Amino acid sequence: MRTPRRPEISLLLLACALAGVLALAGGAGADERAPAAGAAGWQSLLGDRPAPQLGGRWIVVLDKPSLAARVRAAGGLASEEQQRAWSVAAGRAQRAVIARLASRGAPIDPEHVYLRVLNGFAASLDPRSLSVVEKDRDVAGVYPVRAAVPADTRTGLAGEAFGPLSGRRPEVGIPGFDGSGVTVALLDTGVDLAHPYLRGRLLPGIDVLDPFGDASARQNPTVQGRPERHGTEVAGLVVGSRGPAGLHGVAPGASLLPIRVAGWQPDAAGGVSVYGRTDQLLAGLEAAVDPNGDGDAHDAVRIALFGVSEPFAAFADGPLARAVDGAAALDTLVVAPAGNDGPAGPVYGSLGGPGGASSALTVGSTDTRRRSPTAHVLLRAGLRVLVSGDQPLGGAIAPASSLDAQVRALPRAAAAVAGGPSGLAHLFDRAGYARVAGTAVLLPRGTSSPEAVREVVGAGARAVLVDGPLPAGSFGSDAPADVPILGLSAGVAGAVRAALERRIPVSVAFGASAFDPNAAVGEPAPFTSAGLAFDGTPKPELTAAGVGLATADPGRDEDGSARFGAISGTSASAALVAGAAAVLAQARPDLDAGGLKQALVASARRVRGSSAGPAVVDPAAAAAAELVADPPTVGLGVALAANADVGRTIALRNVSRRPLEIAIDTEASDAADIDVLALPRTMRLRPGGRAEIALSARVPLLPRAPAALDGVLRIRVKNGTSVRVPWSVAVPVVGSDLIGAASLSSRTFTPSDADPAVLTVLAGRLDGNAARPQLQPVARLELDLYRGGRRLGTLARVLDLLPGRYAFGITGRGPNGRRLRKGDYELRVVAASVDGRDASVRVLPFTIA
């Protein structure tokens, strides 16, 4: 999103930290004087959230052409010499901007330089440099660096028992094709380069975290025996071959380029956690489109798979989204996981980045297992029954005997066991006695990783309760066989904690477990994120199996044999779709990056006759696609008032060798009181032809609550298959305040760069509830200075903020950088929404003494 030119900034930016419940941070580090926001429900349902060290890093996007922009302007055709020349020109333009910034008092030493997918750089900027950079005429935007985490839950699997109960095989592909001749880049943690399951399929890797590294999986430097596992597991789903009992990946003939963009890195707690930073993800995508770094993208990979996700950051105009669109212009399809934060509210919510990018193929998870472990459960708080009846269990191996235990809720501080140096220490008292022995432990939201489960069981817990819905068997056989794992709804978990706080005893009883028919087969996995990207596009576009998939695990067993495991999560589903895209690229070499995405979405299968939500990937059907739509899912716009007009133009493309006769119909869901008009309604497309369809609608009445009105555009091909294009209209909260609070530490102060007044702003909103949170981000936060009712200029502008508490230092300098004169002023804090409704404003008077 382009923003107007910015006047000079006179502000010292002390901090830009997201709310502690999100466990993310803005680019300038947290201010200890700014307490974290207290919204609940924002930890991942599966997997831990690290508190990363971001070191004051920012991503600066320049208003200068990148290689991708040049190639796009040339219609996608350019010679090697042209591309190298354009890359050189992009670098020259960027260095000129950096030199000009240095001459103005902002010396910059970029940590990462981006020239191919976008033109920009990432660097640690002190407050003075940041103010100079943000105002420069060639700077399109300054964005905070945030964290991205593996979108999975990992499990181990011993031996060769790859059946429907202990580890499912990937069941996606095209008969007769294996992805040969196609390269897939995996942007993830390091990979076990010597794993036999991946032998012969790995290209020399690239390590963004360590330029001297080789993209191999690293061990936790503080706790031995904890390697980076995720990259190996995801790689096995894509290109694994010759596994036990015939196990193999989706595209065993493809080549995989591992790019390490995440791994063990220092965290804010003084330990290490597995995560990647968004500036590192951008650097990885730069490498994927130009692996040899010569400025020519003709060697770009066909598919780039993100195994990590930036939680909740479904921005369609931020640096990652721009980079994904740039990769598409260089003919690289980016496949991204939707995220593992569960369903969100009816509009914006839980989707992770870069899944919000318009060019990204975003993937959610379905549960495709026909049988799953269950047990009869009775959970009581005093005499009140909270749960009674058959419930799914999280372990892949069902305990054979019944048990009952008192429930103990573990505080979050004591649950910080995965990835840190403390290990089991928090679970024992000073005398060495286990605090959880003999109990059923309720883990805090966001700490339900396999590591946390193993460690509380190692401390003597007889059962584990997880705060959040849990697919049956999603923890695989890595969970102890005799310990049941049960997911609780947010309401039940809250009731348990409330009872324990009032000293009401809570107990749980499990009956003997069994593998029963899976009632959720074919349904979306409860952890999968879904909703609208921040531009209103419905996401994810596709789903694939994502629970209990068998794959490689790094390391070796005691007998020296290769290790295997099972993985659940949207990164596992994205891996299946990336493999499907590789196989499709082999079968249909005529399809470009956009065509691969559109064909996969257009041919997806509906589940159980459902007409709503994303469909399941079917690459065999995609290989026979004749017609594709761009985009394959459509956001028609935002309705802020009754009788609002919305609309969008989409393009149809004939990718067959015969002329197509096309008829177009539209329909809305039962809940959407809206008619969508498509013009024209019929057309004829020659082979390779392209035509546009104009979609328009009027929303006569707004629903009383926030909603996403949706429906389907049905495109029927005579003597061929039909294509369905889901559409949506976002109806966000109208009149809600995006500024929860704003305050100055002092209303009277003298100008000082060393001791500024602190402005604290709670920006954005978290509505809904813990089970279905409703996220309202801030597209732009501005600090404007006024005196006597006259606007003096803008002190600061930051973009793409997730809900949280942000702190700034007000130095007493004006927009021109000079010290303000004595007198009375007003600071107006303006928060603009992503959907174009009226901005929220707070006015804070202050006096310069």
Q: Any catalytic annotation for residue 561?
A: no
Q: Which of 131, 568, 571, 603 is catalytic?
A: 571
Task: Specify the DSSP class assigned to residue 535.
Answer: T
Q: CA-CA distance, 92 to 112, in Å (whole number)? A: 15
153 token code pair: 């839950």
Q: CA-CA distance, 357 to 338, in Å (whole number)? A: 11
The residues, any chain, with a CB within 8 Å of residue 524's CB and separated by 6 or more, are 343, 364, 365, 366, 367, 530, 543, 613
Helix (H) or strand (E) holding 372: strand 371-381
User: Of the candidates 614, 545, 489, which has an alpha carbon nearest to the alpha carbon of residue 45?
Assistant: 489
How many helices (H) does the chain have, and how many strands (E)? Answer: 11, 50
The answer to whether the beta carbons of residues 76 and 52 sit under 8 Å apart is no
Cα dihedral sign, 741-747-749-751: positive
Q: CA-CA distance, 440 to 465, in Å (whole number)? A: 7
Q: Which of 112, 195, 230, 248 is catalytic?
A: 230
Q: CA-CA distance, 127 to 27, in Å (whole number)? A: 11
Sole residue written with tokens 């429900």: 41
Q: CA-CA distance, 332 to 334, in Å (whole number)? A: 6
Q: How wide is the angle at C-alpha 568 spanned by C-alphas 173 and 455, nearest 5°?
A: 155
Q: CA-CA distance, 526 to 520, in Å (whole number)? A: 10
488 token code pair: 């609780």
Q: CA-CA distance, 474 to 45, in Å (whole number)? A: 12
Sole residue written with tokens 């429907």: 164
The residues, any chain, with a CB within 8 Å of residue 246's CB and separated by 6 or more, are none
Residue 340 half-sphere exposure toward CB, CA atoms < 13 A: 37
Q: Any catalytic annotation for residue 390?
A: no
CB atoms within 10 A of CB 158: 14
Q: Which of 48, 152, 188, 325 is catalytic?
A: 188
**CA-to-CA separations, 286 to 2, 209, 597, 761, 809, in angstroms, rounded:** 22, 14, 20, 35, 35
- Helices 319-329 and 278-289: angle between axes, nearest 10 degrees: 10
**CA-to-CA separations, 731 to 97, 198, 635, 793, in angstroms, rounded:** 41, 47, 11, 33
The answer to whether the beta carbons of residues 373 and 393 sit under 8 Å apart is yes
Single-letter code of the amino acid located at 762: L
Q: Any catalytic annotation for residue 230?
A: yes
Residue 388 half-sphere exposure toward CB, CA atoms < 13 A: 6
Q: CA-CA distance, 753 to 787, in Å (whole number)? A: 21
- Exposed, middle or buried by CB within 10 Å (0-12, 13-18, 19+), for 693? buried
The residues, any chain, with a CB within 8 Å of residue 423's CB and separated by 6 or more, are 223, 417, 455
Q: CA-CA distance, 636 to 647, in Å (whole number)? A: 5
3-class secondary structure per residue, 105-137: CCCCCCCEEECCCCCEEEEECCHHHHHHHHHCC
The answer to whether the beta carbons of residues 59 and 142 sit under 8 Å apart is yes
User: Of the candidates 69, 61, 66, which has an alpha carbon nearest to the alpha carbon of residue 141?
Assistant: 61
Q: Residues for the chain: how many in total?
A: 849
665 token code pair: 């119909």
Catalytic positions, please?
188, 230, 571
